[in-house]
Amino acid sequence: MRSSRVLVLLVALFTSAALMPTAAHAAAKPLPAHVFAPYFEAWTGENPATLAQQSGAKYLTFAFLQTATKGSCTPLWSGDPGMPVSSSVFGADINALRANGGDAIPSFGGYTADNTGTEIADSCTDVAKIAAAFQSVITTYDVTRLDLDIEDNSLTNTAGIDRRNKAIKMTEDWAAANGRTVQFSYTLPTTPHGLAPSGLAVLRNAVTNNARIDVVNMMTFDYYDGATHQMADDTKTAAQGLVDQLAQLYPGKTQQQLWSMVGITEMIGVDDYGPAETFQLADARTVYDWAVAKGINTLSFWALQRDNGNCPGGSAADNCSGIAQQTWEFTHIFAPFSGDGNPNPDNDFSLAVNPASATVDPGASTTATVGTAVTAGNAQTIALTAGPARTGLTAALSPTSVTAGGSSTLTVSAAANATPGDYQFTITGTSSSATHTATFSVKVKGTPPTGVIANAGFEDGGLAPWTGAGDTVVGSPTHSGTHALQVAPSGNGNGQASQTVTLAPNKAYTLKAWVRGNYAFIGVSGGATASAWTSAADWTQLSVPFTTGASGTVTVYVHGWYGQAPIHADDFTIS
């Protein structure tokens, strides 16, 4: 992952007195069995406790600790001599996190350190001093986990790998002798099918050195393989591959124990590779549900300061996600993950929309009440959002924040030129401990325009008026614009999305669309029957001539064959 600049300044080595192990210590509170801890970019000058309170992320992974120059054994925040490992640097902030029920995970390494030889074990050739550096961070901040972000050149520095794992073992022995709880997590790059051989070699060396690794945290982004990626699906397959690899390394562990070693770090929004690898809000919801079901240990993302929509359509940046989103929206989805094995938080609420559906004329509006109620624990503040955006329709909530038990008014307004049809909005309520959703369906009155395929480029961000079980609108890949349709066949069932279009009777037309994937079909049925298909790795335009019947009404569809991977479609036209 990204790191701050490396300051090329000489600093003094730790003195031996600063590195002496402490006497037996009252045990610090360990992290929960399941923890959401997004990365905090420590070099920005922002206050982590303030951002945690604003976002609802109680636990933070602080990035990064590295040396100022290669050859040093002194870890510094961002490699900056002005930011030493000291209670005066982040000490009060970490205490504030704890006071709010959270904690900190200091992280060594990061891409810049790993690329410049300033990662602690690459830089320092004395195993005892590396261990002393780990111990200094543990005792200074009274933390129970250290994260080691190892990528780039650090993955091929075999001497550094061996030193690091020996220092981990030394630190674990020191912690046991001094009554401390200490965990180590390795953050490693991955493929969509598990760790690459270089990352796996890091773990093999840890086993050889009897170094206990508590969490293997996969960076499920920046694949750079030129392939089409569905980020949530790739997270699942990467994690399954990791569990299979861990089963070979730790044959005595059960499947449940292996899954409890898994950590996942996403890069929210657009990652460094570009729009082809974009982690959307819908991916976050899918990954959250999957992570709870699998019982993984850690859920994280890069980085807390990116969790806003200040640069929609942009490239990867450290201060925004590159997609349209509400501030802290990814955090609100992931935050309920933290807990001691129980996915149901102590404080919880319900969310409902009444009525659940309405009709509206073009140029008019309709309202509904979004109600909340306390279902467990104490009433908390709930942030409310409505989306996704629809062409010709707007959804607004007043107020946008309520205390559980309160209500808000949802107003959906249709522009005068809104296309008649059926639409659906998702209302999301997020507190510091839970997230719930409800849906509101809107039917815009009128007759759909003759000869027009509504939402033909899926730029509304939603499926309507197309219908199809299991089908979704995605941000990548797209033929044009920012959205396209994904049709997902199952192992024994076809996938299909369709909509009804009214045309002139007994007239010749041509349906066209851009598709990609194996056995991707487009066609018409009902008042006419015709289709075309292709198997193509890249976008290909299909063309289907047909003649309407006496009614002029046809069903336009896109179809994926059973047993195949999802297909994608975009930019439908009828002429």
List the structure tokens of 346: 């102590």
The predicted model gives 430-446 an average pLDDT of 81
Say what the pLDDT of residue 62 is.
Answer: 98
Contact 278, 286 (CB under 8 A): no
Judge if the upstream peptide bond of residue 345 is cis by omega within 30 degrees of 0.
Answer: no
The predicted model gives 64-76 an average pLDDT of 97
The secondary element (H helix, E strand) that includes residue 63 is: strand 59-66
Residue 462 burial (C-beta neighbours within 10 Å; 0-12, 13-18, 19+): buried
Q: Out of 18-27, 408-417, 557-566, which region has the weakest mean confidence (pLDDT)?
A: 18-27
pLDDT band at 422 (very low <50, low <70, confident <90, very high): confident
CA distance 114 to 135: 21
pLDDT band at 45 (very low <50, low <70, confident <90, very high): very high
The model's pLDDT over 533-549, given as tens digits with 9 standing for 90+, comes to 999 888 999 999 999 98
- The CATH architecture assigned to 348-444 reads Sandwich (2.60)
Q: Are strands 495-502 and 553-560 parallel, antiparallel or unpaired?
A: antiparallel
The model's pLDDT over 449-489, given as tens digits with 9 standing for 90+, comes to 666 788 888 877 777 778 877 678 887 888 988 888 988 87
φ/ψ of residue 227, rounded to 5: -90, 165
The rounded percent of the chain whose pLDDT value lies above 70 is 92
CA distance 367 to 386: 13
Q: Out of 8-22, 260-274, 281-295, 394-408, which region has the weakest mean confidence (pLDDT)?
A: 8-22
The predicted model gives 190-217 an average pLDDT of 96
Interhelix angle 127-141/158-177, nearest 10 degrees: 50
At residue 413, does pLDDT exceed 70? yes
Neighbours of 156 (CB within 10 A): 10
List the structure tokens of 330: 């990814």
Neighbours of 475 (CB within 10 A): 24
The model's pLDDT over 518-529, given as tens digits with 9 standing for 90+, comes to 889 999 988 888
Say what the pLDDT of residue 13 is.
Answer: 34
The model's pLDDT over 122-148, given as tens digits with 9 standing for 90+, comes to 999 999 999 999 999 999 999 999 999
Most confident of 71-80, 275-284, 481-490, 559-568: 71-80
Q: Which fold has domain 34-337?
A: TIM Barrel (3.20.20)
Say what the pLDDT of residue 480 is.
Answer: 87
At residue 392, does pLDDT exceed 60? yes
- Cα 434 to Cα 374, 383, 439, 494: the distances in Å are 11, 11, 17, 35
At residue 500, does pLDDT exceed 60? yes
Say what the pLDDT of residue 38 is.
Answer: 98
Of residues 500 and 18, more confidently modeled: 500
Cα angle: 171, vertex 177, 182; to 5 degrees = 45
Q: Are strands 495-502 and 421-430 parallel, antiparallel or unpaired?
A: unpaired
Contact 147, 61 (CB under 8 A): yes
CA distance 424 to 274: 30
pTM exceeds 0.85: no
Say what the pLDDT of residue 491 is.
Answer: 58
Direct distance between the N- and C-terminal alpha carbons of the chain, in angstroms, rounded to an integer:
48
**Rg of the chain over all Cα atoms, to the nearest angstrom:** 27
List the structure tokens of 50: 């303030």
The predicted model gives 38-50 an average pLDDT of 95
Most confident of 34-43, 267-276, 359-368: 34-43
Say what the pLDDT of residue 316 is.
Answer: 82
CATH top-level class of 472-574: mainly beta
Of residues 339 and 322, more confidently modeled: 322
The model's pLDDT over 148-201, given as tens digits with 9 standing for 90+, comes to 999 999 999 999 999 999 999 999 999 999 989 999 999 999 999 999 999 999
CA distance 389 to 342: 34
Largest CA distance in the chain: 92
Say what the pLDDT of residue 343 is.
Answer: 43
The predicted model gives 66-72 an average pLDDT of 97
The model's pLDDT over 13-33, given as tens digits with 9 standing for 90+, comes to 333 333 333 434 445 788 999
Domain residue limits, the chain: 34-337, 348-444, 472-574
CA distance 547 to 322: 44
Per-state percent for the chain, helix, strand, coil, to nearest 5: 25, 35, 40
DSSP state of 100: T
Neighbours of 474 (CB within 10 A): 22
At residue 40, does pLDDT exceed 70? yes
Say what the pLDDT of residue 536 is.
Answer: 87
Judge if the upstream peptide bond of residue 355 is cis by omega within 30 degrees of 0.
Answer: yes
